[in-house]
Amino acid sequence: MTLSGEGIAMLNAYLWRVWLLCAALLLPLAVSAEPLRLRIATEGANPPFSTIDSNGQFEGFDLDIAKALCSKMGADCEIAAQDWDGIIPALLARKYDAIIASLNVTEDRKRVVAFTKPYYHSPSAFVVRKGTDMKDLSPKALAGKTIGVQSATNHSAFLEDRYSHSIVRLYNTVADAYRDLAAGRVEYVMYDKLAVYDWLKTPEGACCEIAPGDLDDPAYFGSGIGIALRKGDGALLQRFNAAIDGIVADGTYAKINAKYFPFPIF
């Protein structure tokens, strides 16, 4: 059968409408195929969780966890260093989409940001020079003693409230506090026990040891370490929580854990 000129025009118009309908149906698929793009903040000065090597590259437990979560979510992630005291303000200012920086989940922080489920747990502790009397580390016993701590942290808040009769020295990074402890310029340093454990394995840390007794008051140290996001980013929060479950279930988390610690921390 031979179509007339009018018939050909009608067929072409019909095919054009079919093509437009198909394109409309496929458009959401094309949009959803775009990878999730995230900017993630970390500190970069908290070994073994986040450090910057001699080549300017990030490394550490938090970085490996961040990369594993991004891979599990199929996300394209950019990780950047941010000074600790400005890390939450930078998130709220939308400079970043998430913080993966060993941030304790505390009630005060929960009023400002949203947290994922914890991705590890660690108590806090005092670290002292070897030979220090560690029988009594109560606030009364350490009155007048010099304690080093990183500023703007839950540790500094704890010391300033509970050890108000001690001399609390604030440092920009815990590495600075460690150096003064090793040199004898402070008598104690308070920090996350897992991070202290890593420092003790270094030549500088050979001078010192962890004092007995964990410090894990939930009012200051919260319920674990979580990923911080802006309130209202509920869909992203769900994706992170699912990714945490995913890397635990498939064994990725255990491999990262074993790389840094000889005991489980989840």
Residues 117 and 239 in one domain: yes
| Rounded Cα gap, residues 257 and 129, in angstroms | 28
Residues 100 and 167 in one domain: no
pLDDT of residue 31: 44
pLDDT tens digits, 21-43:
555 555 444 444 578 999 999 99
Residues 73 and 104 in one domain: yes
Domain count, the chain: 2
Task: Report the predicted TM-score, pTM, of the whole model to 2 decimal places.
Answer: 0.77
Residue numbers of the domain that contains 43: 36-121+224-260
Residues 97 and 158 in one domain: no
| Rounded Cα gap, residues 111 and 97, in angstroms | 17
Residues 178 and 209 in one domain: yes
pLDDT of residue 216: 86
- pLDDT > 50? residue 257: yes
pLDDT of residue 26: 53
Q: Which residue has the tokens 């940001």?
A: 113
pLDDT of residue 243: 98
DSSP per position, 202-243: STGGGGEEEPSS-B--HHHHTTSEEEEE-TT-HHHHHHHHHH
Sign of the alpha-carbon dihedral angle for 157, 161, 163, 164:
positive
Domain presence at residue 172: yes
> Does a cis peptide bond (omega within 30 degrees of 0) precede residue 48?
yes
